[in-house]
Structure 1
Amino acid sequence: MNFPLSHIASLCKYTGISFTAGAITHGFFSEERAFLTAVFGVVIYLVGGTLEKIANPDKDHSWTDVLAIGIVASIGLGFFTGGLQHFPDSPGRSSWVVPVGFAMSLLAMYLMEGKGKIKVKAVLIYGGISLALVIAASLYSLSYFNEHGGDGHGHSHGHGTPAPVITQAMKEVRIEVDDTMRFSPAIWEAQAGEPIRIILVNKGKLDHELVIGTEKEIITHAKEMASPGAKGHHHTNEIAAKPGQQSELVWTFKKPGQYAMACFEPGHYEAGMKGVINVVAKKH
């Protein structure tokens, strides 16, 4: 055994898993940067697996184990750990990412360490029971976070920042929504660098939300929310209101330009629940 090489191999493998997990946590399914991060994580994991085989020539792992199965292992562990981290922010996505990651890691472990050494029946019993428990826990967590909401630590976009301090002189924009799937007003104006108190008033009988972003971000978010099981990401650039209630968000746009707003409750965006925010340069 080559200890220094084994240590470097271990660092690479765990670094790879961390990168893959981080990519899942920060939007693997919607952001190019996160996708590239995941690819980098898989590559680093494979480098670690290769170094581990070189450092331990006596281990009977083939290059197929190191490369092909290594990809399954790195993605599976990344899915599992990244999904766990992201559960409060994205319960819909995490509810299936975590079980899939668990199943992939289980398969990779069996193929690399247990094949030919452990009876298939024993693996199937353990795998079936443990996977059922993971799925049950994921479904419970999905139900809990959908009912109570996440911890609010979502990933806001770079075009603006939430401003927690509310003053009497702050500009207010009151936006009313109902079940006609429209914002009222659907078009309004803001000033760059000026904190705005946005009040979302729900006069309908359905849940509604308001998400702020550039047109590109809104389209990307719409595609993400259309994925199986997706629901409520609790980003800092969104507010939601139950029927008959209202919510508030204090927001400051950093730069002038045209921004968009949308509701991503199931089917609402597709029904036309969207709007435009024209942000003008700060007046001196």
Structure 2
Amino acid sequence: MVHHPLDPDRYTRIALYGALVFLAATVLNEFLLTRERPGLARVLAVIGSSLLLSFGIGMLSGGLQHFDDFPARGAILVPVGLVVSFIAYVIKDADTPWHRIFSLVGLTVLAVAAVAYLGLRDVANSMESAPGGQGHSHGSAEEATSTEKPAADDHTSTTGPSAPAAGSTAPTAKPGPKVPEHNDGHSH
């Protein structure tokens, strides 16, 4: 759901595959590994709620996992995924009456989702208005190279105990001869 607008064909296929896997697990768990065989109405309710649950969980987890990439979309997907997952879970559970959706527990889930939306929307707005844009931006290549100091080629780290303190005026070592590259697990 989070990445769907980027490549609709690909992410529609991924969503369908995920729903089919979730559905297969539901059929296995609810119908093949049980001693009681439910009626047709219960089968349809379980299958429908399982699919709804898979999409709700996907919206919730995808919105959280990719919030940095798509903050505005994540601010919507997380609370909607929470509500959809709750509704699907209540419908799927045969021992819980469906009207429990409208109970105090349902109202609490709705209130948590509303608070989550408002909070995440504010975070998303602050991320989008911050310098450097949104997402996994870690600055430009020029910024990265201008703030990094080259390490001396003496196998010491610039963050180790022998490195000069930040802001000190200690002379930096001049680069030595180029060492041929090799893959022995050590860096030079």
Larger radius of gyration: 2
Structure 1 residues 117 and 91, CA gap change in structure 2 (3 angstroms) = closer
Structure 1 residues 124 and 89, CA gap change in structure 2 (3 angstroms) = same
Contact 2:57 2:82 in 1 (8 A): yes
Shift of 1:165: 7.8
Report the equivalent of 1:110: 90
Secondary structure at the aligned position of 2:69 is classed as coil
Structure 2 segments unaligned to the other structure (5+ residues): 144-188
Structure 1 residues 117 and 124, CA gap change in structure 2 (3 angstroms) = closer
TM-score, normalised relative to structure 1: 0.41
Selected match of 2:72 from 92, 95, 103: 92
More helix by share: 2
The aligned amino acid for 1:78 is: G
Spell out the pairing of 1:23-38 with structure 2 (5 A cutoff): 24-25=1-2, 27-31=3-7, 32-38=9-15
Shift of 1:94: 1.5
Q: CA RMSD in A?
A: 2.9
Selected match of 1:52 from 29, 35, 45: 29
TM-score, normalised relative to structure 2: 0.60
Report the equivalent of 1:143: 125
Matches of 2:38 and 2:120 in 1, distance apart?
Answer: 36
Matches of 2:33 and 2:63 in 1, distance apart?
Answer: 32
Structure 1 residues 127 and 60, CA gap change in structure 2 (3 angstroms) = farther
The aligned amino acid for 1:86 is: H
Moved more, 82-91 or 50-59: 50-59
Report the equivalent of 1:82: 62
Give the total of aligned pairs: 134
The aligned amino acid for 1:35 is: T
More strand by share: 1
Contact 1:99 1:131 in 2 (8 A): yes
**Identical pairs, percent:** 20
Spell out the pairing of 1:1-284 with structure 2 (5 A cutoff): 24-25=1-2, 27-31=3-7, 32-53=9-30, 54-58=32-36, 62-113=42-93, 114-115=96-97, 118=100, 120-148=102-130, 149-152=133-136, 164=141
Shift of 1:133: 2.1
Deviating above 4 A after TM superposition, structure 1's stretches of 4 or more consecutive aligned residues are: 58-61, 116-119, 163-166
